[in-house]
Amino acid sequence: MKSDMHRNCPVCGAENSINERKNFTDIVTPEGYTAIKTGPLNGHFCSKCEEGFLDRESEKLFDKQIAEEKARQDSRRVTASEITDVDSVVKKINVSRQRVHKMMEEGKLPYVFIGERRYPVKNQKIFDELRKKVRTQALLKNKNAVKKK
């Protein structure tokens, strides 16, 4: 049985208003892009204010679909000078090639398609932010590993 915390809306406070929705689609229009259809998604939503939360798998799928469609739309307007290769990004942010591809798939690193291949878009500001995040996460993992010993 759900607790009151999971039945009451955390946004508007309505009581017993949270309902589960499964296999729905949504249309999102990010600024500067045409409408993007996402789905099938699952989550819990308020029947009063319509706000809600996607489950973890749906959130990942949503991020992936948005990133992929934005990349396809960007592919039509980005010039070749704005594109870089994966190896250059690997050197700039000190991560593996696999991690760069995962960041593109998760929507954390902008990319475009050339044919069916993905190429990162040059953006030094994003590279600097990712480098800081990766270093911080690595330091935290190392601290936790030392504490366990």
Question: Is the confidence at residue 139, as pLDDT, over 60?
Answer: no
Tell which residue, 70, 79, 76, 77, has the closest CA to residue 110: 70
pLDDT tens column, 34-59: 999 999 999 999 999 999 999 999 99
pLDDT of residue 143: 61
Burial of 9 (0-12, 13-18, 19+ CB in 10 A): buried
pLDDT of residue 10: 87
DSSP state of 121: B
**Alpha-carbon span 6 to 74, nearest angstrom:** 39
Residues 6+ apart with CB under 8 A from 94: 131, 134, 135
pLDDT of residue 123: 78
DSSP 45-92: EETTT--EEE-HHHHHHHHHHHHHHHHHHHHTT--GGGB--HHHHHHH
Confidence of residue 3 (pLDDT cuts 50, 70, 90): very low
Question: Bridge-partner residues for 117, per DSSP?
Answer: 114
**Alpha-carbon span 43 to 63, nearest angstrom:** 14
**Alpha-carbon span 130 to 103, nearest angstrom:** 9
Domain coordinates in residue numbering, the chain:
1-56, 78-149
pLDDT tens column, 63-121: 999 999 999 999 998 888 889 999 999 998 888 999 999 999 988 899 999 888 999 99
- Which helix (H) or strand (E) segment holds residue 101: the answer is helix 97-106
**Alpha-carbon span 61 to 55, nearest angstrom:** 10
Whole-model pTM: value is 0.74
